[in-house]
Structure 1
Amino acid sequence: MAKQGERLTKRLAGAALASALAIVIAAALGIAVVANGGEDALRSQVVELNDARQEIAETAPDDGESLRAADQALASAQDALRDAAESRNDAASGAVTLTALVSIAAITFMAVYLHRAVARPFTRLEGFAEEVAAGNLDAPLAYERSNPFGKFTWAFDHLRKELDRARKDEERAREDHKAALASLSHDLRTPLASLRAYAEALDMGLVNSEEERAEYERAIIRKCDEASSLVEDLFQHALSDMDRIAVACEPVQAAPIVRRCASDSSGLAQISCLRVDDACVEADEARLAQAIDNLIGNAIKYARGSAIDIQATAENGLYTIAVRDYGPGMPPEDVPFATERFYRGANASDKPGSGLGLYISSYLAERMGGRLHLVNAHPGLKATIELPLLP
């Protein structure tokens, strides 16, 4: 089946030929009408002269001189009529020929222009669409700004670039997903191997004192915590990768959630609730607790041994939950990117994890109509979740 561009070219050629033929016919008819107008005047003159001669012949048949003059005038008029007819035919033929040539030239020019300006770009667009449908997003679509289709073809090429960018982003995300899984798997093997070594040492009776046994037991607890944290990261990564974190918001009292999160982590660090205002917010209770736990866990991980202060204030239409540690803080160049998925700053190279905790907290805060922002508090880092207050 012929392509649409080829069909359009054939239609333009047919329209051009039909237009040329119509112009030639119209020109010929116009010339014929004008020429016939001049010949009609000569015919009338011939008829009048013929009538005058007959009248002379009837009234003065013996007047030879008048008859000869009338015959000469009649012959001259007839010659003029014949010359006019011949001139008309020659002029009409020349005019029609000239008109035909000019018309053909003009229509040919118009057809070529329409082919280049309309048919050819249309054919390119058709081929481009087929390439895109086949998955080829690397071939650019050439266009000219002076062409009537220039802006249209530019829009198609811009679409190709956006599709190509989206595909590459998807490929990068897939590679990041694989890298994160590989990193989590590697990180998980380390505490598991340590757990096995400590457990085997205890089982084989290699511990010589109660103090050493207690140290082994504390090490096992630490490694269990590390493994548990990595498993949670793996679970959250799977959810975030598929965008399947369900958030069901409803009016909830925020203060009990904040206090419970602080209490649950109190055995891991010195946590103080400096101020917790009672207020109602539109949120998912479990997801809000998850976001706060991530912030507390992040503070414990990167500010080990530091005190952690928590404040929850209801002011200016916002419920602000702030988690601050007194550790080394975050390098300033890392702060703008810390909530991106898989991002790990310069101070995270020696810490287990996959760079998902702050991303998950930020994502959940946004799903609940709020936001998360980070700022270095000098000393330490302050992570704040802001949620709209309900009236």
Structure 2
Amino acid sequence: MKQRFVLLVILMTVALALPAMLLNFNKKTDTYNLNNAEVNQLLNELSKDWDNVEKYRNTIVTNSYDFNYEVIDDAGMVLIKTDTGMPVDMGRATSERYTIRDIKVDGEVVGKLLIDNDFDTAISGAQNRFMLRYYIAILIEAVIIAVFLFWVFRNIVKPFDDLKDFASDVASGNLDKPLEMDRGNIFGNFTESFDIMRTELNEAKQKEYEAQRSKMELVSQLSHDIKTPVASIKALGELLEAQSTDDKSKERLNSIVSKADNIDVMVSDLFTKTLTDLNELNVDASEQESSILDKIIKDADHMDRITGDGVEGCIIMCDPLRTTQVINNIISNSYKYADTVIHLKSRIEDDCLVVSFEDEGGGVSEDDLPMITKRFRRGENAKGKPGSGLGLAIASELMEKMGGELEVENTSRGLLVTLYFQIA
């Protein structure tokens, strides 16, 4: 891994230096190369035949050399030239970068030889060669960079993304998906350790689940077993109360029966909560006429505190048994904590039947309000009164299992509990 990384760094360095290397390669070929032998030969011919040459005036002559040229005398007069487009004076020849040589006869300068370097063609050729090298350099550099980026993606980016996804799975509790191990990437040495950690966490989670399930099954069994002696105590207390003729004894026996009822309610709540945690609480929501709610409410309101016009007629989704538990809990809580009249209202809203119960007990504190549907949480107004803090929590869970919802809020009169039933 380390050797391959060093090799890629070297290739990247070469890629960055490659344009400069290619652009400077054979730089001399970008300049115009004049054949000095031919130039000297032409100068010798002109010197020897100068007497005839100086008789010409701006005359086009046949060219036997690889370059165009022009001859002027010492007065600047054009004598001969090989191309009509050639300059007619020294100034223009100089500006167009002509090669200028002296023509000498017996050591005396008698004229000038102006040689066309074809500089534009040379520049064009140099530019073409420059661009060719430039594009080749860019292409090679692009290939090297692409290889480097592919290596980075395969050996760094993708393994890092895999680790990130693995961490998300672990954080969300999904410990069944193994982390693919590849020692070829940069995180290869850590991959196996992470997967071992996942395996150990999964084993610990399974052990914790088994321990929790065992504990909840024990609580469920105890809750069930406690109900039998409590029922016996209640029955015996009611029998003794019925047979007693002494008012003080009747009062004490009535207190025993009342406490037995409280214990029975708390044990029932604990039993229901445990079944919910074990996912063994059966909720079978089916299509029911909403009039079933009127019957459940009437049966639960044994103190005749409910006022209202009844429930709107429609077909709803509910489990009659679990709905009875929910409504019994709401009404018994109102009896216990508010001890006032209960206002019943209902309406159809979108695809729900909304049924609300509002007492006149002043409600609960705003701090306690969000917590009273949580397990084992009770409001300040519950102090000194029997209860487990499970009632509304269980009612809320039962409503959710039936596809509905339970909401609580304070009003100007007291506490408002609202049930939402899905319309079939």
> Given the two structures, how large is their TM-score scaled by the length of structure 2?
0.49
Q: How does 1:94-113 map to 2 (within 5 A)?
A: none
The amino acid across from 2:317 in the alignment is A
Say if 2:245 is the partner of 1:254. no
Match of 1:299 in 2: 334
Say if 2:296 is the partner of 1:263. no
Secondary structure, counterpart of 2:25 in structure 1: helix
Match of 1:277 in 2: 311
Contact 1:329/1:379 (CA < 8 Å) preserved in 2? yes
Distance (whole Å) between structure 1 residues aligned to residue 344 and residue 165 of structure 2: 59
Distance (whole Å) between structure 2 residues aligned to residue 9 and residue 293 of structure 1: 75
Match of 2:17 in 1: 20
Q: How does 1:120-135 map to 2 (within 5 A)?
A: 129=164, 132=167
Distance (whole Å) between structure 2 residues aligned to residue 131 and residue 388 of structure 1: 39
Distance (whole Å) between structure 2 residues aligned to residue 256 and residue 11 of structure 1: 77
Match of 2:123 in 1: none
**Using a 3 Å threshold, how does the CA distance of structure 1 residues 136 and 289 change in structure 2: closer, same or farther?**
closer
From 306, 311, 315, give the equivalent of 2:344: 311
Distance (whole Å) between structure 2 residues aligned to residue 195 and residue 316 of structure 1: 43
Say if 2:357 is the partner of 1:289. no
Shift of 1:56: 8.1
Q: How does 1:241-390 map to 2 (within 5 A)?
A: 241=277, 247-264=283-300, 266=302, 269-272=303-306, 274-277=308-311, 279-286=313-320, 287-303=322-338, 306-309=339-342, 311-315=344-348, 319-327=353-361, 329-366=363-400, 368=402, 370-376=404-410, 380-387=414-421, 389=423
**Using a 3 Å threshold, how does the CA distance of structure 1 residues 130 and 265 change in structure 2: closer, same or farther?**
closer
**Using a 3 Å threshold, how does the CA distance of structure 1 residues 281 and 245 change in structure 2: closer, same or farther?**
farther
Say if 2:262 is the partner of 1:226. yes
Match of 1:50 in 2: 41
**Using a 3 Å threshold, how does the CA distance of structure 1 residues 281 and 343 change in structure 2: closer, same or farther?**
farther
Task: Name whichever of 351-360 and 311-320 sits farther off.
Answer: 311-320
Distance (whole Å) between structure 1 residues aligned to residue 17 and residue 333 of structure 2: 81
Match of 1:96 in 2: none
Shift of 1:54: 7.7
Match of 1:146 in 2: none
Match of 1:141 in 2: none
Contact 1:309/1:325 (CA < 8 Å) preserved in 2? yes
Shift of 1:132: 4.4
Contact 2:316/2:353 (CA < 8 Å) preserved in 1? no
Contact 1:270/1:307 (CA < 8 Å) preserved in 2? no
Q: How does 1:26-105 map to 2 (within 5 A)?
A: 26-29=23-26, 31-35=27-31, 37=32, 40-41=33-34, 43=35, 45-50=36-41, 53=44
Contact 1:329/1:381 (CA < 8 Å) preserved in 2? yes
The amino acid across from 1:255 in the alignment is S
State the Cα deviation string for residues 301-357 of structure 1 (Å, max 9, x = none).
323xx3553635345555332334444532344224333444321122333434332
Shift of 1:27: 1.7
State the Cα deviation string for residues 11-64 of structure 1 (Å, max 9, x = none).
2442222331453133223x13224x2xx21x2x32232366489899xxxxxx
Distance (whole Å) between structure 1 residues aligned to residue 315 and residue 162 of structure 2: 55
> Given the two structures, how large is their TM-score scaled by the length of structure 1?
0.52
Task: Compare the two structures and name the one with the higher helix fraction.
Answer: 1
Distance (whole Å) between structure 2 residues aligned to residue 308 and residue 53 of structure 1: 134
Contact 2:269/2:394 (CA < 8 Å) preserved in 1? no
Q: RMSD across aligned C-alpha pairs, in angstroms? A: 5.4
Contact 1:314/1:389 (CA < 8 Å) preserved in 2? no
**Using a 3 Å threshold, how does the CA distance of structure 1 residues 21 and 348 change in structure 2: closer, same or farther?**
same
Contact 2:408/2:415 (CA < 8 Å) preserved in 1? yes
The amino acid across from 2:41 in the alignment is N
Question: Structure 1: where are the runs of 5+ without partners?
Answer: 59-65, 71-102, 138-169
Distance (whole Å) between structure 2 residues aligned to residue 381 and residue 311 of structure 1: 12
**Using a 3 Å threshold, how does the CA distance of structure 1 residues 55 and 333 change in structure 2: closer, same or farther?**
closer
**Using a 3 Å threshold, how does the CA distance of structure 1 residues 359 and 130 change in structure 2: closer, same or farther?**
closer
Secondary structure, counterpart of 1:276 in structure 2: coil
Contact 1:372/1:383 (CA < 8 Å) preserved in 2? yes
Distance (whole Å) between structure 1 residues aligned to residue 257 and residue 307 of structure 2: 26
**Using a 3 Å threshold, how does the CA distance of structure 1 residues 135 and 336 change in structure 2: closer, same or farther?**
closer
Task: Compare the two structures and name the one with the higher strand fraction.
Answer: 2
Contact 1:273/1:311 (CA < 8 Å) preserved in 2? yes
**Matched positions, count:** 283
Q: Which protein shows a greater Rg?
A: 2
Q: Identity over aligned residues, as a percent? A: 22
